[in-house]
């Protein structure tokens, strides 16, 4: 029975970026922006739940973010996840993908006993699509990006393999990959299931320690209502590889790009039209 770990991110609703979205120091002012479940992570979760439906096993969800990210974890429990873990620590703030993937890989190691790691192909805020592949690299496991389907998970000569289908743009390919492995999932892979009423009733009062008064934590734990909350110490993270310290990339500025009439040119679909366009974008060093 394969065990899956799913990496999900709470992201700012980028269709609603306001002027105070960025702080002076280039970090995202997450407190002021409405947040949503990163769309492709819903498909990553669905891939894990489908697998569990076929082969059994468990689905554990991990999210790194501020305490408010507990909202997406409750959402995953309503959809059928078995366990949810929030990695939250002020020392992780302003982590770029290098630091984020390190922290997530430490969390995956700490959970252990996994066969599949699922991530979304891309987050709609950073938009780098780097975290999944970087996480696989740090875990030293194979990675398959643009996953469309897990065709089969089977044991061959005592070893676990998965046969999968991935999108290659103008078609798809079938791969067999040795497990454990990491998969980044795209939105065309499946249709995320809705919340089940049974799961909602069961988990609607689940809280992380950060969301409740300290004196109530034990009671929540006893009642099985406590969503696990881990710090960087709980995952034995090297603090030099986390947060601002561990991030060579600094986000300089984020702004909404609004296309105006002046902002675009009609390109005639002719050889000459295309050649002029390429010449223009080369001259303005866009490529
Ligand atoms: C506008 C903007 C631009 C940025 N540009 C860069 C940049 O160029 N280089 C850079 O290194 N950093 C950049 N960052 C920082 C980057 O957003 C964070 O490091 C982020 O945590 C991971 O990168 P991403 O958002 O691109 O996610 P992606 O790499 O696109 O995420 C892919 C998948 O990884 C998983 N994942 C990502 N973050 C988390 C998380 N916190 N918790 C759980 N799962 C997660 C999800 O499954 C997600 O679908 C940028 C941030 C912003 C807001």
73-84 confidence digits (pLDDT tens): 999 999 999 999
Contact by Cβ (8 Å): 230, 92: no
Q: Which of 5, 9, 36 to mutate to test the pocket of ligand 1 (most atoms within 8 A of CB)?
A: 9
**Domains in the chain with CATH codes:** 4-254 (3.40.50.620)
Percent of the chain with pLDDT over 70: 89
Give residue ranges with CB within 6 A of ligand 1.
7-9, 28, 38, 40-41, 44, 63-65, 95-98, 100, 104, 119-120, 122-123, 125-132, 249, 251, 254
pLDDT of residue 107: 98
CB neighbour burial string for 80-91, b if at least 16 within 10 angstroms, e if fewer: bbbbbbbbbbeb
Q: Rounded CA gap, 174 and 156, in Å? A: 17
Q: What pTM was estimated for this model as a whole?
A: 0.88
Q: What is the mean pLDDT of residues 129-153?
A: 98
Output the residue whose Cα is nearest ligand 1's atom 3: 126
Contact by Cβ (8 Å): 196, 76: no
Please report which confidence band the pLDDT of residue 153 belongs to, taking 50, 70 and 90 as the band edges.
very high
Please report which confidence band the pLDDT of residue 26 belongs to, taking 50, 70 and 90 as the band edges.
low
Contact by Cβ (8 Å): 33, 13: yes
Please report which confidence band the pLDDT of residue 28 belongs to, taking 50, 70 and 90 as the band edges.
low
pLDDT of residue 221: 94
Q: Rounded CA gap, 217 and 127, in Å? A: 36
Q: Which of 126, 189, 248 to mutate to test the pocket of ligand 1 (most atoms within 8 A of CB)?
A: 126
Q: Does the pLDDT of residue 215 top 90, yes or no?
A: yes
Residue whose pair of structure tokens reads 């790194």 in the numeric block: 64
Residue 110 contacts by C-beta under 8 Å, 6 or more apart in sequence? 230, 234, 235, 236
User: What's the CA-to-centroid distance between 99 and ligand 1, angstroms?
Assistant: 10
pLDDT of residue 46: 98
Output the residue whose Cα is nearest ligand 1's atom 36: 9
Q: What is the mean pLDDT of residues 179-193?
A: 98
pLDDT of residue 22: 61
Please report which confidence band the pLDDT of residue 34 belongs to, taking 50, 70 and 90 as the band edges.
confident
Between 43 and 19, residue with greater pLDDT: 43
User: What's the CA-to-centroid distance between 89 and ligand 1, angstroms?
Assistant: 17
pLDDT of residue 24: 63
The whole-chain average pLDDT of the chain stands at: 92
């Amino acid at each position: 029975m394969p065990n899956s770990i799913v990496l999900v991110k709470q992201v700012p609703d980028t269709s609603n970026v306001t002027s105070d979205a960025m702080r002076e120091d280039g970090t995202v002012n997450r407190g002021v922006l409405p947040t949503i479940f990163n769309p492709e992570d819903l498909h990553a979760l669905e891939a894990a739940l489908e697998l569990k439906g076929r082969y059994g096993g468990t689905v554990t969800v991990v999210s790194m973010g501020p305490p408010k990210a507990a909202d997406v974890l409750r959402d995953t429990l309503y959809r059928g996840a078995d366990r949810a873990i929030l990695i939250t620590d002020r020392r992780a703030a302003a982590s770029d993908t290098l630091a984020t993937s390190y922290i997530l890989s430490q969390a995956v190691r700490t959970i252990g006993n996994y066969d599949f790691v699922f991530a979304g192909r891309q987050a709609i805020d950073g938009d780098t699509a780097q975290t999944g592949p970087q996480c696989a690299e740090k875990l030293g496991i194979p990675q398959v990006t643009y996953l469309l389907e897990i065709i089969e998970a089977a044991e061959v000569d005592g070893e676990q393999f998965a046969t999968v289908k991935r999108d290659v743009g103008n078609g798809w390919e079938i791969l067999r990959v040795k497990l454990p492995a990491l998969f980044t999932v795209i939105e065309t892979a499946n249709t995320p299931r809705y919340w089940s009423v049974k799961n909602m009733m069961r988990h609607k009062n689940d809280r992380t320690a950060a969301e409740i008064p300290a004196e109530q934590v034990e009671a929540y734990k006893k009642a099985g209502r406590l969503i696990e909350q881990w710090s960087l110490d709980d995952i034995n993270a090297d603090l030099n590889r986390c947060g601002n310290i561990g991030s060579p990339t600094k986000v300089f500025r984020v702004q909404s790009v609004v296309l105006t009439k002046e902002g675009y040119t009609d390109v005639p679909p002719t050889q000459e039209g295309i050649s002029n366009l390429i010449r223009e974008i080369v001259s303005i060093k866009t490529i």
